[in-house]
Amino acid sequence: MPKFYARRRLSILAAFTGLIASVGLFNGPTASAALPTPVSAATARTYLASLTVATEDRTGYDRDLFPHWITISGTCNTRETVLKRDGTNVVTSSACAATSGTWYSPYDGATWTAASDLDIDHLVPLAEAWDSGADSWTTAQRQAFANDLTRPQLIAVTDNVNQSKSDQDPAEWMPSVTSYRCTYVRAWVQVKYYYGLSVDSAEKSALTSYLSAC
């Protein structure tokens, strides 16, 4: 899909640290989320330098303006597709619901065995996108963003971690697994660049700092 705008707008570093079953924490091997590999740190730095710096527009956001979990193939919607992609030994029903499997959440190093313990995170949150340019998009463009399986934008993570992140940018929230932060910011910048989204000054400063350590 081409860029929508004229203005220019993570190799997974999974930390194999522990196995969290849906009822507790144990030592053991983990599965690894399969986020599309983001651009290199060098490329991300170049992209970041080209992004427009602007104050965010914090008005008018409504999640319903970003139609998401659309049908991707057969009976599988976007959430179900990401759960299958990011899990290990995932078994699904005829309706494409994940009935078993193992999922590693790279944000917090947890591993889950119940799909209900996972959210699909929009790495660049929908509200953040709205505040930095998506308010002027068409509904079709917002739907494409909310269901993007090609860019490193959708990832299965622990549900309460995703809820804690909410719509915060990297100046306000980062994954607790420090080894994943470089992947995270590279992905963040790639998504913002592809979709022509702006960054605010605190966000750019944080991204610059994290990328310098990549």
Secondary structure of the chain: what % helix, strand, coil (to 5)? Answer: 35, 20, 45
Tens of pLDDT, residues 151-206: 999 999 999 999 999 999 999 999 999 999 999 999 999 999 999 999 999 999 99
Residue (of 52, 49, 213) closest to 132 by Cα position: 52
Average pLDDT for 85-107? 97
- CA–CA separation, 147 vs 132, rounded Å? 18
Q: In this structure, what DSSP letter does residue 157 have?
A: E
CB atoms within 10 A of CB 7: 13
Please report which confidence band the pLDDT of residue 58 belongs to, taking 50, 70 and 90 as the band edges. confident
Tokens of 52: 């427009």
Mean pLDDT of the chain: 88
